[in-house]
Each structure stands twice: as C-alpha cells, then as structure tokens.
Structure 1
Amino acid sequence: MSDAPVISVRGEAVLEVEPEIARLSVHVQSQESDRRRALDALVDRNERCLELIRSYGDAIERLETGGLSITPLLKYKRRDGDVRAYQGTVWIKPVVRDFAVLGELVTRLGDLERTYVHGPDWDLRRDSDVYARAARQAAQEAVARARSYAGALGARLTGLVELSDEGLGRDAGGPVPVRLAAAYGTAESGGEPEPIDLEPALQTVRAAVEARFTATAPDLDA
C-alpha cells in the first residue's frame, strides 16, 4: 500500500441561469345537473382551450393532458343522497419555450369560461448543458483547492485516488406563481385581455464533488 500523502477536498459550483422553459397547469371544468351535458360541455371547453394553446405553434414545446374526471356531487355530504350535479375536470399541461408570448397566453387562458391557470413554474430542460457545466466547475474547484493545499505545504499533486459525485441540486427563486381563474359564465368584454407582465425567475444549479489526491511529501521545514 502506498504511503504517499493524501489530500481530501470538496469542490462545489453554484450557477444562476435564466430558465429555459415555463410549465403551466390548466384545469378546465364543467358542472351540469345532467351527466351527459356535463361531459359535452367539458369536451367543448377542452377543445377550445387546446385550440388556443396550439395556435401559438412552435412557442409551445410540449402539450399533454394530465387527466380527466367526471364526479357526481351529492346533495348531502355525510350520507348517501341524490346527485345534485356532475362536475367534469380536464387537466392540461402546456410547456412554453417562448417567454415572449407567455404573458398573453396566460391571460387568454384565464379568460376562458371555467378555466383555471396555475403557473408559470420556471424550469430547465432535463438534458440542459447547465448541469454538465456545473459538474465540470465543481471538479475543477476540487483540483484547484487540492493544489492550493499542496502548495501551502510545499508539495505538489501526483495523482487522483478517488472522485465522487455528490449530485446536482436545484433552487428555483423568483416570485410566487400566478394563479388565474376564469369567471363562471361568458366574459362581458368582447376584446382580448391585456397580457400580464411575467419576469422569468433565475434558476440556481448546484453541483458538488469529493476528491482525494496523492501528493509529494510536504516540506514542513520551509
């Protein structure tokens, strides 16, 4: 077993970058006394919502339906009773890549009948090169720190024993997401709503590594 001195260090990198995408949660609802009418109304409102989102073309990176439900609402909550209404809900999850249209899209969605908008949730793509950049900077920090320690002892690094990744972390800062709810019924104004001003929240990416290096014998008499 080698008796060469070993220097153990931790390297860390913290990057603050602009978000790459914005996620929205859109809930479209209907409520009618008849199950079929509730379903028909939900289908119609869902299609209008999807048409609006799709009209933004390439500005939308992804569009998914998260789920659909038709729920009977009872007259009495604590015991079985007659159904007073049926409530339908569709959950739509658009991902927006072009922030220039985001404020307009959010307000237009919020202006639709019985439509609820939650967001935006700012994010990075899973394959973003920011993560790799943070990991490289953390490793470089570990090397620089080990060299600094070795230099302080009059030694120099000779090899790498081990490098372990502590993983990547995310901290999303910025304002609380906007929540908009459309009124029950048709909007009184015939014009388009004014776009809301949305400022992208910086994304904080953290990476950390632990490393062990061998070094020459220190010059403790220097």
Structure 2
Amino acid sequence: MSHAPVISVRGEAVLEAPPEIARLSVHVRVQEGDRRTALDKLTAHNRRCLDLLASYGDAVERTETGDVYITPLVKYRRREGDIRAYQGTVWTKATVADFTVLGELVTRLADLERTTVDGPHWALRHDSPVHARAAELAAHAAVARARRYAAALGASLTDLIELSDEGLTRHDDSWMLAEGARGAYAAAAPGGAGEPEALDLSPQTQVVTAAVVARFHSTAPDLA
C-alpha cells in the first residue's frame, strides 16, 4: 500500500451558451354534451394544429403526441350515469430548431380555436458540444487546484488516483418559469381576418455546469 500523501479536490466549470432548440407544449381542449361530437371536434382541432406545425417543414424538428384524455363530466359526484358533458384534450410537444419562425409559429398556434400554447422552453441538445467542453474545463480546474494546494505545501503532484464525474447540470430557468406559468399563451376563437402579428422572442442564454472530484498522489510536503 502506498503511503504517499493524497490531495483531493473538486473542479468546476460554468459555461454560457445560446440555446439550440426551443420546445413548445400545445394543448387542444374541447367540451361537448355528446361523446361523439367531442371526439369529432377534438380530432378536427388537433388536425389543424398538426397541419400548422407540419407547414413549417424542417424548422419544426420534431412533433410528438403526449397525453390524450377523453373524460365524462358528471352532474353529481354521487350519482352514476348522470353525465353533463364530455371533455377531451390532446397534448402535442414540438421541438423548434429555427428561431426565426418561432415568434410567428407561437402566435399562429395560439390563434387556433380551443388551443393553449406553453413555451418556448429554451434548451441545448443532449449531445451539444457545450456539455463536453464544460466537463473538460472542470477536469482542468481540478488539476490546477490540486497543483496550487501541493505548491502551497512545497510539494508536487506525482500521479492521478481517481477522477469521478459529478455529472452535468443544465440550469434552464426559462423551462422552470414556464412550468410555473402553464398556459402563458391562451388562445381564444379567431375574432378577425388575417394572421396575428408575430411575437418578438429573445432566446434565453443557457448555463451549463460541470463538476468533477479528483484525487492525486503528491511528493512529501515541506512542513518545516
């Protein structure tokens, strides 16, 4: 067993980068007295939403269906079979890669009847090189910190014992804000002709943090 001194440190790096994608949550909701009417209207409104998203081509990178609900609403909770209406909801998640059309897309979606838009939620891609760069800088920071500790004791590093990754954490404040303010853009039935004016949206800077823990052997310190 080695009896060489051990220096343990934590290295951290924080990077700022512009977002690479924006996520939108689109909810289509209907409520009708007849089940079939509710289903038909939900299908029609959802199709208009999907057609609008598809019309933007590659600018909308991905479209996914989330939850779908068809729920009977009863007049009295204690009496079964007394249904007053049927409520339906379809949740669609869209990932937008072209920010030049984002403001227009949000307003056009919000202008659709019985549609609610939540977003945009700015983000980096999971495989963004920003994450790798932050991890690399965190490792460099750990080595530099350990060298400073060793130098303060009149010693020097000899070898690496262990380097463990604490993981990457993306602080996406826009997403957390939007989660707390669900339905920021609530749509009403179109009241006039023509397209709505596009919103002026400014992408929010993303903050990426990487941290590592490293342990090194060092030469004997000069404690004289």
Partner residue in 1 for 2:222:
219
Measure the CA separation in 1 of the matches of 2:170 and 2:78: 44
Residue 76 (structure 1) shift: 2.2
Letter in 1 for 2:50: L
Root mean square deviation of aligned Cα:
1.7
- Structure 2 equivalent of residue 25 of structure 1: 25
CA shift, 1:216, in A, is 1.7
Counting only pairs closer than 5 Å after superposition, residues 149-160 of structure 1 correspond to structure 2 as 149-160=149-160
Aligned equivalent of 1:179, options 175, 184, 194: 184
- Paired position in structure 2 for 1:205: 208
Percent sequence identity over matched residues?
A: 67
CA distances 1:56-113 after superposition (whole Å, capped 9, x unpaired)? 1111111001122211122224543522221111111001111111111111000000
Secondary structure in 2 matching 1:119? strand
Q: Distance in 1 between matches of 2:82 and 2:222?
A: 88
Structure 2 Cα separation of the partners of residues 173 and 131 of structure 1: 17
AA at the equivalent of 2:67: G
Report 1:136-175 matches (<5 A): 136-174=136-174
- Tell me the equivalent position of 1:130: 130
Give the alignment's TM-score, normalised by structure 2: 0.91
Per the alignment, residue 83 of structure 2 pairs with: 83
Q: Residue 20 of structure 1: CA displacement?
A: 1.2
Equivalent position of 1:115 in the other structure: 115
Between 164-173 and 203-212, report the one with greater CA deviation: 164-173
Q: 2-side partners of 1:197 and 1:78: how far apart?
A: 49
Structure 2: gaps of 5 or more residues = none
Q: Secondary structure at the match of 1:193?
A: coil
Which residue of structure 1 aligns with residue 52 of structure 2?
52
Secondary structure at 1:80 match in 2: coil
TM-score (norm 1): 0.92
Task: Answer whether contact 2:121 2:174 (CA < 8 A) is retained.
Answer: no
Corresponding residue for residue 62 of structure 1: 62
Q: Check the 8 A contact 2:14/2:208 in 1, yes or no.
A: yes
CA contact (8 A) 1:72 1:85 kept: yes
Structure 1 outlier segments of 4+, above 4 Å? none
Cα distance, 1:167 vs. partner? 1.6
